[in-house]
Amino acid sequence: MGKEDQKTKISERRRFFTHLAQNVGLGVMGGLLWAGYASKAKSSPLTLRPPAALEEEDFLRTCIKCGLCSEACFNRPSNIDKETGKQRPATLKMAKAEDDVTIGTPFFKPRDVPCYMCEDIPCVPVCPTGALDVKKVTNKAGKLDPTMMDMGIAVVDHNACIAFWGIQCDACYRACPLMDKAITLEYDRNARTGKHAFLKPVVHMNDCTGCGLCEKACVTEKAAIYVLPRNIALGRPGAHYVKGWDTKDQQRIRERVDKDVTTHDIRSSRKPQDYLNDMDILEN
């Protein structure tokens, strides 16, 4: 074998190992990028979904990322800007790679564009898979009812809300489509001045739909009232707590511990006035 042939084989061998190393490097880099991409694609627990969305895990299994809900939201007749005559941005967005939401799924940010609680709720009936369950927003009369929406609940930051500083502000109250139901104003004495009253916004969890119109209307630089998913905003009692007035809860615990959990006490069988003045009972 000549020197030229040997040089050629050595050159080819070097080229082979160079390409191999490059491909391995690209493969590793691709794996790292995909891992980061997949992690980024997971939704933040603070993600707000469209009206009538199923629970998050069921929603993600059911949603086919078709975008029909967002399209219906954008094309609704009430979404025309009265000044320009053009379509305004839709409330519902379809998540992209840069969003902290599962890619391709619908979500909204109230501070950008809140939900306007359309009477016909156009985003829900168009869902082809039931990821947006129309039954959740259908009343007993069989009609779509925007007051049945449940996208989250508004939370007031008492430290940031200027109403708690003594400055009169009712922007969120005025913006609420369920005024005096979902948000009410509570009067309280201003101890600092001794002369004025606070007009404090109070959110009622059973009526708030999480539309975010209050968050959009808030006058502070960073909204002092904002919408969170209910499972984040609201506490949850432990399984060991029993509501004594709830027969189902009593039965649940009875089955759990396999014994009678009803309170049997001498005081329970007596009138309050009988045992309150009985020192022996009180000492026991």
Same domain, 230 and 278: no
User: Which CATH number does the domain housing residue 174 bear?
Assistant: 3.30.70.20
Length, in residues, of the chain: 284
Question: Which residues are 188's β-sheet partners?
Answer: 198
Assign 3-class secondary structure to 248-269.
HHHHHHHHHHCCCCCCCCHHHH
CB atoms near residue 148 (< 10 Å): 15
- In 113-272, DSSP assigns E strands to 153-156, 183-189, 197-203, 225-228
Each residue's pLDDT tens digit in the chain (284 positions)?
555 556 565 566 666 556 655 665 555 455 444 444 444 556 799 999 999 999 999 999 999 999 999 999 999 998 988 888 889 999 999 999 889 999 999 999 999 999 999 999 999 999 999 999 999 999 999 999 999 999 999 999 999 999 998 888 999 999 999 999 999 999 888 776 666 778 899 999 999 999 999 999 999 999 999 999 999 998 877 777 777 777 777 777 777 666 665 555 555 566 666 666 665 544 55
Count of structural domains, the chain = 3
Alpha-carbon 136 to chain mean position: 16
Is residue 207 included in any domain, yes or no?
A: yes
Is residue 76 included in any domain, yes or no?
A: yes
Last residue of one domain, picked from the residues 215, 235, 255: 235
Same domain, 53 and 129: yes
Same domain, 121 and 204: no
Same domain, 220 and 267: no
Same domain, 275 and 230: no
Same domain, 179 and 228: yes
- 74 lies in which domain range? 42-149
Last residue of one domain, picked from the residues 130, 149, 168: 149
Same domain, 144 and 156: no
Is residue 17 included in any domain, yes or no?
A: no
Q: What angle do CA 131, 133, 137 make, to 5 degrees?
A: 145
pTM score, whole prediction: 0.71
Give me the long-range contacts of 137-140 (CB less than 8 A, separation at least 24).
137/51, 137/52
CA gap 63, 107 in Å, rounded? 12
Place of tokens 């499972």: 231
CA separation (Å) from 192 to 164, 165, 176, 186, 232? 11, 9, 29, 17, 33
Same domain, 65 and 159: no
